[in-house]
Structure 1
């Protein structure tokens, strides 16, 4: 009878150990699957971030070109204003305008 009790206890102990190992093994597999999903999400997020960074750089370059264009148009108006105020330049009236036409050469007729 005593051997039966000892056999039952060892059977229970073996069952507990095997269940514990099975649970631990299952937890390791679940953890590995979560790691794979996390790496996948990280790569997706990094790809999106790279796309946004490229778009930001393109927009910054376009912004710089637009600023240069704005300064160019502002400089044209400023040159005209300075020509009138400082140099007293003006557009001549039509009666003071002379149009000179060049005679056509034989090469131009072809």
Structure 2
């Protein structure tokens, strides 16, 4: 009976050791994946900041005025061309 118990305990110890080794390996894999994802997140945040800055630049009033004048040939109306409508 004690040999059977010793065998069971030996199998349990070996199984436990294998499980610990596998979980450490899996932990390393997940940590590497987490580090990679954090790096990607940081790069995306930097790109998002750049895009926000670019959008702010393109949306400035003087930029819109410049594009309206150059590309669309628009201009402010002369004083005599302005009509005020009142009700």
Same fold (TM over 0.5): yes
CA distance in 2, matches of 1:29, 1:74: 65
* Cα deviation 1:48-99 (Å, max 9, x = unaligned): 11111110110110000000111x3378645x3145535xxxxxxxxxxxxx
5+ long unaligned stretches in structure 1: 1-8, 87-110
Runs of 4 or more, structure 1, over 4 Å off, are: 74-78
Matched, 1:73 2:66: yes
5+ long unaligned stretches in structure 2: 83-87
Q: What count of residue pairs does the alignment treat as equivalent?
A: 76
With over 3 angstroms needed to count, the CA separation of the structure-2 counterparts of 1:10 and 1:28, relative to structure 1, is same
User: Structure with the greater relative contact order (CA < 8 A, sep ≥ 6): 1 or 2?
Assistant: 2
Structure showing greater Rg: 1
CA distance in 2, matches of 1:65, 1:58: 11
- Using structure 1 for the length normalisation, give the TM-score: 0.61
